[in-house]
Structure 1
Amino acid sequence: MGSAQSALNFGAGPAKLPREVLEEVQRDFLSYQDSGMSFIEMSHRGKEYTKVNNDAQSIVRELLNVPANYKILFMQGGGTGAFAAVAMNLMGRTGTADYAVTGTWSSKAAKEAAKYGEVRLVYPQHKKSGSIQDQSTWTLNPNASYVYYCDNETVDGVEFPYIPETNGIPLVSDMSSSIMTKKLDISKFGCIVAGAQKNIGPAGVVVVIIREDLLGNSMKCCPSVFDFTYIAKENSVHNTPATFSVYVMERVLQWIKKNGGLEVMENQAREKCGLLYKTMAESKKFYTCPIDENVRSRMNVPFRIGGGDEKLEELFLQEAEKLRMHQLKGHRSVGGIRASLYNAVTLDDVKLLVKFMIEFQATHGPK
């Protein structure tokens, strides 16, 4: 594993992108389609970007089978900007919204939304990290403007095994780290937001899929760059968008289609995480995963070594880096190790990680 090509990136985001796409972007970088200009130099009003913008919307609609009564938008501001945008666009109807807090990002989203209206938790403050309370314990407010949840918590390593039932209240989901990794019934959602920088592109663009009847209700305080209604009206080109990020994202989405679409991505995700969880289960508790088995993420796998031995974990990270295995350190708020297994991470990548884990245990584990 000595060449630049073979470096393994298990980062939580910005994350690994398909090498095939990166090579294509590299070839076009100095002269996009033999124009003599780089794509990053081209006008967002020009024919080149107009085509990329429209093609990106079309491939999102095709891959996810998005119904005709939904708009596909691209905006900036990252997932954190989307926390505010969701509230400013959707909470105005009743002034209140329900939030399922299952980890770091849904907690941040709820706190951000509380600036714009009443946020009500669907169950008491989250009791146990690494878990998702069964929906039978939820209490929904029939007057809520929407119900919000984070489909996959990248820090905490939990993923919803189901789509919540909301009794007709619009369902909103942050799918930044699970978008394009499984098939979805989009008609069950009022709105989906997803930062691109994990499964579908580089940082800089957020995909918004929103049902048309939810447009037109933004608060007066909502800036135009976060106003879904205005963004839809302007076809996501109301100001200078993140043109290069949208271009690379469109290439990654075409790569997903070329490589079997969401069915293949879903099967591969299951196989990759299954191998890693199996390795931990067979390690006689040298590697432990603190997540309830029924909600373990397919995308972000946190684990501890030696019962949380920080010196041993630091040694693990140092030795992994020597083997060009990068970004395995757990989030600063929880520590430990975390391997993110997004679409561009291959099964062979995971097999190499598992091989290293087994060898590390043989050397540093109890005899």
Structure 2
Amino acid sequence: MVNKDRIVSDFCRLVEIDSPSLQEREMADTLINELRKLGFEVTEDMAGKKKQGNCGNIYGFLKGEVEGNPLLFSSHMDTVEPSRNKKAIIHSDGTITGNGTTVLGADDLSGVVAILEALRVIKEKKIPHRSIEVLFTIAEEIYLQGSEVFDYSVIKAKEAYVLDLDGTIGTAARKAPSHYAFEVQIIGKASHAGFAPEQGINAISIAAEAIAKIKQGRIDEETTVNIGTIKGGKATNIVSEECHIMGEVRSLKHDKCMMELEKIRQVFTETAVNHGAELQFSLPRGYQAYEVDAIHPVVERFTDACKSLQYPVKLIETFGGSDSNHFNRNGITSIVMACGMHKSHSTEEYTHMDDLVKCSSLVLKLMTSK
């Protein structure tokens, strides 16, 4: 029932709208208009103001005729860079790519169009459905900032499907990690590197000593640590007075994540103190892990819908975050569905026309399930 030409055209149209994180205004206005044409009650929150963006999260509610609790469907509106002046190119085999200079935006427009097309089919065919809620979020790509500040008291659903995962249609993640960024500022003492190096306290040297004590990479099968940036110093003839370090910790177990962060804080603190330097340690961004039971209704409904469409089912864990992390933390049991994006966060990103159709067909089946 999904209209292949329409969903592909819709995808290509939305790709051409620039929507980098915190600059989603045009995309939001487009989606507000689409939802209202489909009969939704639509509201926009104040997330943009809270996060210094130009628009908020877009929430819509459509009352249904089928008994059962409402279901929430969600995708995010923003894209990673480079994303300016995107263009979708359709190839003869049905693959859709960008022009190689930007991301395509299938992350997460493949999810957005799958939701919209399913809703259009429901309206056109007058298919009975349960009550449906839709949430299109801002700033997901920068540590889920839009869903972080959303007011979940407006949500009626207790179960949700987030369309925001690489892989074949029929894949879903029911387990995702805690993920926290950390920042370290080491403050030493400047001095002339040639005439009086012993009078200085070298912040870069202290950072190097501390980092050498920290295990990085895969700590265990559930946990990773990475130090990603180091910045410091003003000139080669000055003992570096400051050094700024940024890193991250991920773990499928929240307690493990926090324990690893505390270990890192202690190493930097002790090393700085031993050299007479000052230290500032902070956790500017992060979100918590979740795991949804394989026999939970939100998973079983997904599995049943895939089987009815003859899609192979693959339930996985992921080391990436999504708005699903905040949904689960706020009492909405949620899994993340693959929606036809591939090689996300790169200029080689692509989707396929058949993926868009299959994903929308799956969303339609979920929306109309009893």
TM over 0.5: no
Which structure: greater strand fraction?
Answer: 2
Q: Which has the larger radius of gyration?
A: 2
